[in-house]
Structure 1
Amino acid sequence: MDFTGKITGISIDIPTQKPVVALTADSDLPIQELKELGKCEKVDVIVKRHKDKRSLDANAYYWVLLTKLAKVHQWTNQEAHNRLLRRYGQLERLDGQLIAVPLPDTDKTETDILNKVEYHLMPTPKVTMMKGNIYRVYIMRRGSSTYDTVEMARLINGLIEDCRDSGISDSDIMTPFEKQKLYEQYGIGDESAVSENLRNMYS
């Protein structure tokens, strides 16, 4: 059972000297299921800071705009996506540690990695010798499907700037309604410019 809520009480159980934590859910929960869990000797509990998930609208917009950028540079969509994750994405960690992968330092390796869907890697300056061959160390990046709103905003902002640098016009980058949505959901763009664009549409 997963739910969002808040910690509404923290105390110490005197006999055991262990913490007692009270939680209040943001929405209704199945009481009978909670009662059944209450009969268990132990339950697994994970408490972490809540992060708003990115919207599906932003994901759809990202891929539409990414396709335009890929077309300009004659990349596949996946290659464009991996390039954007390298520039503006988030590092993957396992138990708090970065995930490093040594791979043959060849053009073929780089081409293959840029077109991978299953994982996302970024090359580093570090190289090493293994069995007489040169290997480059790559660092794993997180897939964008795991991003929260702040992380997705950074990725979309970077994509927009890359599109502008590639000669794609602002009118092709986003419509007034897309500007409005991105400003409301992610704070991307300028509020006055968004309002002016919408007024112009209906004037």
Structure 2
Amino acid sequence: MRLIADAPRASVDMLTGDAVLSFRIAPESKRMLNELKSLGDSKLAVDVKKYRPKRSLDANAYLWVLCDKIAAALDSTKELVYIELVRRVGKFAVVAVRDWDADEIIHGWSCRGLGWFAEIIDGCKIDGCVRVMFFYGSSTYDTEEMSRLIDEAVFEAKELGIDTATPDEIALMKERWNDEKQTNKGA
């Protein structure tokens, strides 16, 4: 079960001395209360981390506009520009893979979509294995990750003399991400 919560509070139970954490959840998440109650006094594994909303569709559309303009300036394709941007600043994981399985695993990974690609890199210290860098497509990015990708596209566009959104317009897009975060609470 995954919940989006706010108003975290930490306190100490005066009777037992135990630390107590509490959170406020959105009304639409309250259906999960029965599920929690059904667990009784079971021990739970709880992972608390800062919430980051998915990136906005406006941000995604803007990224593709920039990719298209950069591609035109470089006599390339927007898809190749996008892949290069993901390669430079995108989210990735490095995994040791048995060398005889690497090609098949890389192919399977790349079938997920355009930004999902993988490359064999040097330096695996495990016999019979290679290191593979697996890149994630931007559809999985949160606001911070998408912001980094757009900033890189803006930088590349400016280097090529391409007009981009003004800093105020980019700030407004990022503000919309924050508004979206508030709207999606409890999602």
**Shared fold (TM-score, shorter chain, > 0.5):** yes
Name the amino acid aligned to 2:95.
Answer: I
Q: Which runs of 5+ in 2 are unaligned?
A: 176-187
2:114 aligned partner: 117
Structure with the higher strand share, 1 or 2: 1
Name the amino acid aligned to 1:119.
Answer: W
Query: Is 1:181 the counterpart of 2:169 in the alignment?
Result: yes
Q: Quote how far apart the aligned CAs of 1:71 are.
A: 3.4
1:8 aligned partner: 9
On the 8 A contact 1:9/1:23 being kept in 2, the answer is: no
Relative distance call for 1:36 and 1:142 in structure 2 (3 A) is closer
Matched residues in 2 for 1:47 and 1:39: separation? 21
Relative distance call for 1:36 and 1:89 in structure 2 (3 A) is closer
Relative distance call for 1:40 and 1:77 in structure 2 (3 A) is same
* Residue in structure 1 matching 2:142, options 134, 148, 151: 148
Matched residues in 2 for 1:68 and 1:118: separation? 18
Query: Is 1:162 the counterpart of 2:156 in the alignment?
Result: yes
Matched residues in 2 for 1:65 and 1:90: separation? 19
Query: Is 1:24 the counterpart of 2:43 in the alignment?
Result: no
Q: Give the aligned length.
A: 161
2:84 aligned partner: 83
On the 8 A contact 1:7/1:22 being kept in 2, the answer is: yes
Percent of pairs with identical residues = 25
Q: Quote how far apart the aligned CAs of 1:74 are.
A: 4.0
Q: Quote how far apart the aligned CAs of 1:59 are.
A: 0.9
Name the amino acid aligned to 2:155.
Answer: E
RMSD: 3.8
Q: In the TM superposition, what whole-angstrom CA distance separates every residue of 1:58-111 from its partner, at most 9, and x where no partner exists?
A: 11110121122233334443322211111121233xxxxx3245657xxxx9xx
TM-score (norm 1): 0.59
Q: Quote how far apart the aligned CAs of 1:144 are.
A: 1.6
* Other structure's SS at 2:49 match: coil
On the 8 A contact 2:121/2:133 being kept in 1, the answer is: yes
Q: Quote how far apart the aligned CAs of 1:157 are.
A: 1.4
Q: Which runs of 5+ in 1 are unaligned?
A: 93-97, 188-203
TM-score (norm 2): 0.63
Structure number with larger C-alpha Rg: 1
Relative distance call for 1:20 and 1:184 in structure 2 (3 A) is same
